[in-house]
Structure formats: C-alpha cells, structure tokens
Structure 1
Amino acid sequence: MRTIEEKLQEHKQNMNIIQAPPELEDRLRNALQQVPTKKKSKPRAVAWVAAIAAAVVLLAGTYQYPAFAYYGGKLLSSMELSSLSFSDVVDHGYGQTVEKSKTLDDGTVITIEGVIADDNALLLYYTVDLPEGSVFNVDESIRFGIDKLHSFQGNSNVREGYGNYSDDRTRFMGVYKFGPVSPFSRTLTVTFDEWKGKERLLYPISFKYDANKAMNSIIKEKLTASVPVDQGTVHYDAITASPTSTIIKGHYELDNGEFPRFMGKTKLYVNGTEVGARGGRSSNTGDKPGFELEYDIIPTDKVESMQIVLENFSGYQKVEEPISLASPSDRSILIGNEKLWIRSVTRTGTGYDIVIARKQFTFLDTDTLAVEAGGITVPVSNITQSRPWDLKNGNIMWEQTYSFNTDVKPEKLMVDGFDYIKTYNKTITVPIKKNE
C-alpha cells in the first residue's frame, strides 16, 4: 500500500527509446520548451541531463558510418559542438551543410543550416531571422518550437534544445538534439511550430540527408556483464562512442519484473579518468525494462582501460525483528546500514498516530505495516504525505504520520523492510579490443 507521493518519487520512466525496425517504429515526440540564455553572438548549450547505471561490448554494426576524423586534433565534445555556430562546426570537419529555409507570412525566415549525426544522436543547427525593423524580446521564450523530426525510420524524439540571440537581437541561433536517425534515410523533415492565440501553426521543412557528410565514425562495443543487486540483476549490454556522446545500454531483471525504484548512479572510467555523466533514461528492451545512460565523449584515441562502476542502486533492507515503541525520541535506530527515527507515539480520537522519520529516498514497505497492541496485530489505516524534518546540523530527513485504529497503546512496530538507495561499488572491467 504505497502512498501516491511514494509512487510519484519512483524513478520509473517508461519512455520507449529503443530502435525498432522502421516499419514498426513511430517514435513519440517529447515536448520541448526552450529557455533563452544571455546574449552572445554564438549559441550556448543548456546543460545536458546527467547519468546513472551501465556497462559494455564492441558490436560490429551492419552499417559502417563514414570514418573521418573521429579521433585526433579535430575531436570536439558535444558541449563544444553545440556552442559553435554551424560555420565553425564545418571548419572543424563536421556535419552536412543544408541551408534550407522557409519564409513565413510575416517575413520571418527559418533556416536549417546543417546537421551532425551519428549512432547516438542528431544535432540540428537552425536560425530564425526576423523581418527588417523587428527585434526579439529576450525576456520571452523563443516563439518557435520543434514539433518533430521525421526520417526513414519514423519520428525521432527531441532530447534537448538550446540557443541564443545575436547581439542586435534580430536573429536566434539554436541547436536541437534528437535521437538517432536511420543512416539509410534520404530525406528528413523537421516541423517547427508556434502558437498564435489558441491556434497552433506548423512549418515543415524537408531536406536531402547525406549520411556520408553528416556522420562521423562510430565505435561500438558489446559486453555480456551483470551486477547482482538485492532484488535481481542489472545487465550491461553495449556501449557506443561517437563525437556527440557515449551511450551505454542495458536492462534489468528484477524479481518484480518492473523498473527499479531508483536507477542509482553508474560511473564510466577510461584510462583511470572518469568520463562526465550527462543523463539517463528508461527504455524497453523486448519484454524487459531497459535503460540508456549518456556520458560525454571518450577523451582519447588510445583506450588502455575501461571500467563501469555501479556506485549505488535500489536496495532492500529486511527488518527481522519488531521495532520497540516504548521510548520514542529523536534518536535514530540503526537497521542494517540505514537509520529510522520513531519520533512520537500519540493518542488521537480514533486510535494512535506514530511519526516515523527516514532519509528522503527511504520508503517503508507499507503493504504489511502494522503495530502490536495488547497482543493484537493492527494494520496501518492511514499514511500522510511526507514532510521535511530539519536536524539543524545540515541534514534534512523526511517524516510521515502513520495512523492505527486501536484503543490500546502500541508496543511494537512490525514492518517487513524498506527500499533505499544502497551503495554497491561494483566494478566491471571492459575488455579492450585493439583497433588494427
């Protein structure tokens, strides 16, 4: 019997982001709301989402992406790529120039300048130029969004958007990051949208797509590795490293067959140096819940060692003995490696209320939660929403009130266990395949 609040705090994103065959897949678009940054002459990236859990193996793809200058002096991270104008991107040897425009009725011109694509993502560079005499109000959000990007394999999800205004505020320069598109696509269609009152206007722009120009080289590795956790196993399936990011894919095999309550935190190390984590998202891998973790690019062309470290993940602590309610106080009770606080036991008009405090992401198993009162087992009748409890020492716990319908003062609290974020620190060493 979990509370609505507990369910809301569960990290179970059920976004389906695996690549299915083209005829089966129609990716759903995530709504994107852009927020302008400070004035600069070049766009500045908004921070990418950051990461958790994974591992690896080098897989040979069925399609070999054009391999020009992945490593070496021209290598730039996606943060660097997205902070450059497209002309600067081209100067670094990246991308396909598009220069396809649409002029709106009021004279506004939307131009797709170019794209960079690989097996992990597609970056689309665009500009919006206002008619002569008009300027952007930089205190408002940019009026145009992206409705979708359609390719040979279907619709690609929007993952990020960022950009900035020119110094004279007549131009907006933006970058959108999408999920990967099929290398066999020949035409891409990007649909911009804007709202005028209650009417939503759509502006599709189609352009020829050339994978040989847009794509840089790809490194794929495959790993059949796993880490046992309290309620199942975390499996690490593959890693793909590209100029836009490093993606680790995996799946869960948990006792309940569902996504974990907490995805936890997974670190990636290359040559002993941690690779920056940028985000994580849930996916479906066949009939099994899966995940994708995004990291920065691998910062070297000489990979001597690679490790995946599952630092923490969802854990479950069994409570073997009933907890005494004889002397409630603000002192903690150590159970395993976690602590609970029985703060008070108070008589009410309908029974007794017990206030229990715990860490923010620790959740009691309430399905069988009960008290022993006068030799009788009384189940919990009501649970309040959690509220902060400031310990005044830099720590904030979260407390809830649990109500029990009994006229007899409870003597013991009976709980099967609780979910929490458990430290695992399990390391997987990835075999390195030397490139010929």
Structure 2
Amino acid sequence: MTTIEEKLEENKRTLNKVQTPPELEDRLRKALQKVPAKKRNTNRAKTWIVSAAAAIVLIVGTYQYPAFAYFGGKLFNKVELNSLTFSEVAEQGYGQAVNKSKTFDDGTVITINGVIADDNALLMYYTIDQPAGSVLDDDGFVRYSTNKIKGFLTDSSILGGGGNFSKDKTQFVGVDKFKAISPFSRTLTVTFSERLENGEQVTYPISFKFKANKAMKSLLKENISKSVSVDRGEVHYDSITASPTSTIVKGHYEMDDQELPRFSVKTKLYVNGTEVKTWGMREHLSQDTGILEFESEYDVLPTDKLESVELVLENFSGFQKVDKPISLASPSDQSIKVGTEKLWIRSVTKTDTGYDIVIARKEFVLLERDNIAIQANGKTVPVSSISTSRPWDLKNGNILWEQTYSFNTTDKPELLLLEGFEYIKTYDKTITIPLEK
C-alpha cells in the first residue's frame, strides 16, 4: 500500500506539471512509479521557495490586527514586496522599523531592518554586511539561514525568501517570509544560523519588540464552506484571507475511499473577472483529523473595491473507468480512446516466462497494478511485473510514455482487462464567494 509520505511526495512533484523543465520530466514521471528520497533545497538567496508538504499550525482567535490604512489605496504585489528594501516600504507608510543587529564571530553583521505582519504572513527585511576586505558570493551566502520566528503563542516556520547583492558584493539585502504570527506576541526572536567550513552550525538569536499596531488588517477574510464534487470524493474550500502580503485560500479533500488523492488540486482565483497570479500550493496531513488539507497562495488582490470573487477548480485527480476489455489481437501504434484519454497497445511479445505487453499513455495517466490483468484462454492472469516508464517520441513534437507489463502465462493474451486509470482531469467548476455589502 502506498504510504502517506509517498502520496504527499507524488502530489508535490505534480503541482507544477506544465512548468516542469524538460530535463526534469523523466525524473518526475519516474517518481510517479517509485518515489525517490526527499531532497532539501537550502538556497534561499534567489527565488521564493514554497514547501509542498509543510505542516501548518494556525492559532485561531477573535483578536483582529489594528486597522492600518492602505496608502492611497495602493496594494503591493508579491514581486514588489520581495524586491523593495524596507526603507522603500516604510516611505509609503508600511511596516514596523526594527533596526536590531547581531555580529557573527567572523565579523559578519546581520541587521533586521523591519517587518510587515498581517493575517497571512510576516515579512522580515534584513541585510547581511561583510567585514571590511571580504565579499559575499552565491556559494558563501548559503552559509546563513533562518528557519523560525518565536514568541508568545508563536512558532512560525519560514516559507521562503529572496533578495539581491550590492554591486560590490559586500552586502546582501533580503526579505524572508514566515507563517503568520500571533498578534498577542510582544517580543519576537529570530535565530540566524551560520554553517562553518568544518560542517558545524552556530546560531545567533536576535530579539525585538513587536508592535501589533504597525500590522495591517486583511482586505478580505471570509469563510467559504463550499465543496466541489470530483471523481471519488469532494474538494472543500474552507476560507479565503486576502492581506497586503498575499492571498491564501484554504481547503481540504474528502475522498470516498479514504485514500489520499494522487494529484493536487489546481484552483484559479478571479477578482472582478480578472485572474490573480498564483504563487504555489502547500499540503499537509492534519494530525487531528487525518484529512489532507491544502493552502493555495495567490498575489495580493489587484483592488480594494471588490465586486466579485470567484474560485475555479481547474483540474484535480480523476478516475476513468474502462467499461469493456481491450482487444490485444492486433497491437499497433494506433491509439485507443478511453473516455477523454487515449492508450496505445504497442506490442504483445512472447518471452521465456510468459508474455510482455507494451502500453503507452500520455503524461500523468497512471495505470495501477491492481487494475490491470489479461484474459488468456478464458483465464484471468494478473500482471507480474511492470517496468519503469520510458519515452516514446512521436517525432511530431509529442512525447508519450510507455511501460512493459509482464504476465506469467503460456497462453496467448486475448484481452486487456483494465478496471480504470487515474489521470489529471479538467473540471472547470466555479465557486462564487459571497461578499459582505
């Protein structure tokens, strides 16, 4: 049986299927058959990183952040917040200045310049200054890292980070994003780590006073409590919180067979009819309920004048039933249409131990071992082994993926008995979020 960790890993590796670089496609497809060991990405210096299976702990209360006026009605998008220095943000009336520094043993100085906090996240703006006569480089920068912010009712892990080097490489100006903190916190502590050349790690905590009255209230915070029926279950959308740092939609899956979905949901967000850019998704298994929950993150809302907000479940795991056996009498490279998908029976070959059948399919169409058998001389023969997937180049710009399915029988196969297969199904179902007038 597939473990929870394997399912989560599979989900993680299929979140961005359209954008997957060509050189990684083979690894991704193989991962759907056999999950490799997890790898940790430690380079936070250049791109925003979103964990695909991060555990999320949110403290729910009635306390609201004090209202903070949106400067001239302007809302930052995520790219702007990531690229601006804190001084530029503060010029427009945002955030809380901190200006607390810590000097490392080697003379490196890290300074927390300021923070922006809201219902979705805390952004921490900081600088790393090198001692006189030394410079930072890409390899050297990964020596420094943060992972959590702690305080009263707060233990918030990092979600990602980014920044830029100065022209002379003596300073790095960065911003890290953490999970939302408790507004009841009055003192926050960030622990910076340095990895030494001998492999040891030293830590340097920096504490500062947190002023909740410098935080910003959410533009939109609504319980959705709506679901969409999908093959083998439902996708539930629980809430949406739109703040000046991001927009978060939370939900969970409820599957009929209690299994975790093979593929993750892809949801689009529309505000006043315009699509809001998506930044990724995280999933985690609730320890309390055993239900797989998800968070979809989007850019900040493009306006504070909301006329309509809609979610569109674009695609998710689907299961295509196969109603009748597939003939193996004349294998060829011609496709066989099954529902909205296609299969190719490329060859049926006798071997020393039985018969091998080569079946090709499109990417992310998955034929499970338990759903495959053949009929030979009136007998049902289960599959004995399945090869790893390999590319089949159609020489027309399309690449399919084929596998060899082996059966231990001396009788020639007549029919392929396929109960069904999992695939990424297009749903395009819309949920309208009611807005308070």
Give the TM-score, by structure 1 length.
Answer: 0.86
State the alpha-carbon separation in 1 of the partners of residues 114 and 428 from structure 2: 42
Shift of residue 118 of structure 1? 0.7
Give 1:5-44 correspondences, 5 Å limit.
Answer: 10-11=10-11, 33-34=42-43, 36-37=45-46
Deviates more, 1:212-221 or 1:411-420: 212-221
The answer to whether the 8 Å contact 1:48/1:278 transfers is no
1:313 aligned counterpart, secondary structure: strand
3-state SS of the aligned residue for 1:157?
strand
Query: What's 2:274 paired with?
Result: 273
Deviation at residue 73 of structure 1 after TM alignment: 3.7
With over 3 angstroms needed to count, the CA separation of the structure-2 counterparts of 1:258 and 1:142, relative to structure 1, is same
- Secondary structure of 1:65's match? coil
Question: Aligned partners of 1:137, 1:226: CA distance in 2, in Å?
Answer: 48
- Tell me the equivalent position of 2:239: 238
SS state at 1:357 partner: strand
Aligned to 2:77: 77
Task: Kindly state the Cα deviation for residue 318 of structure 1 after the two structures are TM-superposed.
Answer: 0.6
TM superposition shift of 1:191: 1.0
Residue type matched to 1:150 in 2?
K
Which residue is 1:180 aligned to? 180
Identity %: 63
Within 5 Å, give how 1:256-335 maps onto structure 2. Answer: 256-285=257-286, 286-287=288-289, 288-335=291-338
Q: Which amino acid aligns with 1:34?
A: N
Structure 1 residue 216, shift from structure 2 partner: 4.1
Q: Deviations over 1:171-206 (max 9, x none)?
A: 111111111111111111111112211211111111
1:117–1:215 Cα contact (<8 Å) kept? yes
Structure 2 contact 374–415 (Cα < 8 Å) conserved: yes
Cα separation, partners in 2 of 1:199 and 1:104, compared to 1, 3 Å:
same
CA distance, structure 2, for counterparts of residue 61 and residue 9 of structure 1: 32
Q: State whether residues 321 and 419 of structure 2, in contact with CA within 8 Å, keep that contact through their aligned partners in structure 1.
A: yes
Over 3 Å counting, the alpha-carbon distance change for 1:400 and 1:96 in structure 2 is same
Matching residue of 1:19: none
Matched, 1:228 2:229: yes
Residue 10 of structure 1 aligns to a residue in which SS? helix
Alignment of 1:128-147 (within 5 A): 128-138=128-138, 140-147=140-147
Q: Look up the equivalent residue of 2:108 and give its one-letter code.
A: T
| One-letter amino acid of the counterpart of residue 146, structure 1 | T
Query: What whole-Å deviation, never above 9, does each CA across 1:296-346 have from its counterpart, x for those lacking one?
Result: 111111111111111111100111111110111111110111111111111
Match 1:375 to one of 373, 378, 383? 378
Q: What's the secondary structure of 2:370's corresponding residue?
A: coil
Is contact 1:342-1:355 (8 Å) kept?
A: yes
Classify 1:309/1:100 alpha carbon distance in 2 versus 1 (closer, same or farther; 3 Å).
same
Q: 1:262 to 1:299 in 2, by over 3 A?
A: same
Q: 1:7 to 1:328 in 2, by over 3 A?
A: farther
Question: What do residues 64-102 of structure 1 show as CA deviations (whole Å, max 9, x unaligned)?
Answer: 212222374432112201111111110111111111111
SS at match of 1:237: strand
Q: 1:186 to 1:172 in 2, by over 3 A?
A: same
Structure 1 distance, partners of 2:214, 2:429, is: 41
Is 1:402 the counterpart of 2:405 in the alignment?
yes
- Any idea what the Cα deviations from partners look like across 1:370-422, whole Å, max 9, x if unmatched? 11111111110001111111111221111111000111111111111000011
Alpha-carbon distance in 2 for matches of 1:8, 1:187: 35
Give the TM-score normalised by structure 2. 0.86
Q: CA deviation at 1:283?
A: 2.9
Q: Counterpart of 2:368?
A: 365
Q: Which amino acid aligns with 2:127?
A: T
Q: 1:31 to 1:336 in 2, by over 3 A?
A: closer
How many pairs align? 401
CA RMSD of aligned residues (A): 2.4
Change (3 A) 1:132 1:205: same
Closer, same or farther: CA 2–129 of 1 in aligned 2, 3 Å? closer
Amino acid at match of 1:268: L
Task: Give the structure 2 partner of residue 429 of structure 1.
Answer: 432
Question: 1:430, CA displacement in angstroms?
Answer: 1.5
- Consecutive aligned runs of 4 or more in structure 1 exceeding 6 Å deviation: none
Bigger relative contact order (CA 8 A; separation at least 6): 1
Give unmatched runs, 5+ long, in structure 1. Answer: 14-29, 38-45, 52-59
> Does the CA-based 8 Å contact 1:71-1:301 persist in structure 2?
no
Q: Compared with structure 1, are the counterparts of its residues 310 and 266 closer, same or farther at alpha carbon in structure 2 (3 Å cutoff)?
A: same
Q: Deviations over 1:91-140 (max 9, x none)?
A: 11111111111112221111111111111111111111111121123465
- Structure with the higher fraction of residues in helix conformation: 2
Label 1:88 to 1:161 Cα distance change in 2 as closer, same or farther (>3 A). same
Which AA in structure 1 matches 2:400? M
**Contact 2:51–2:159 under 8 Å retained in 1:** no
8 Å contact 2:358–2:404 — kept in the other structure? yes
- C-alpha distance after superposition, 1:139-198 (max 9, x if no partner): 654420113222223421211111111112111111111111111111111111122112
Residue of structure 2 in register with 1:115 after alignment: 115
Which residue, out of 348, 356, 359, partners 2:359? Answer: 356
The one-letter code matched in structure 2 to 1:70 is: Y
**In the alignment, structure 1 residue 346 sits paired with structure 2 residue 349:** yes
Shift of 1:218: 4.4
**8 Å contact kept, 1:145–1:192:** yes
Describe the SS at the equivalent of 2:384: strand
Instruction: Look up the equivalent residue of 1:249 and give its one-letter code.
Output: K
**Preserved contact between residue 269 and residue 275 of structure 1 (Cα < 8 Å):** yes
Contact 1:103 1:110 in 2 (8 A): yes
Contact 2:267 2:312 in 1 (8 A): yes
Tell me how far 1:214 sits from its aligned partner: 3.4
Q: State the distance in 2 between where 1:343 and 1:309 align.
A: 37
Q: Which runs of 5+ in 2 are unaligned?
A: 14-38, 53-59
The answer for the alignment partner of 2:29 in structure 1 is: none
